[in-house]
Amino acid sequence: MADEGKSKDGGKGKGRADTGLKVRVKTARGRTASSVRWLQRQLNDPYVVKAKKEGWRSRAAFKLIEIDEKYHLLKSGYRVVDLGAAPGGWCQVSSRKVGSSPANPLVVGIDYLEMGSIPGVTLFQKDFLDDDAPAALKEALGGHPPDLVLSDMAAPTTGHHKTDHLRTTYLCEVAADFAIDVLRPGGAFVAKVFRGGTENELLATLKQNFAQVFHFKPPSSRQESVEMYVVAKGFKGRAAAPAEAGAAET
Select from 111, 58, 68 the least CA-distant residue to 49: 58
Kindly provide the residue ranges of all beta strands, DSSP E only, lying in 42-145, ordered along the sequence.
80-83, 107-111, 121-125
192 is catalytic: yes
CB count in 10 Å sphere of residue 203: 18
Active-site choice (50, 138, 192, 233): 192
Please check whether residue 84 is in contact with residue 108, taking contact to mean a CB–CB distance below 8 angstroms.
no
**Cα–Cα distance between 84 and 65 in angstroms, integer?**
17
**Cα–Cα distance between 112 and 57 in angstroms, integer?**
17
Q: Which residues are catalytic?
A: 192
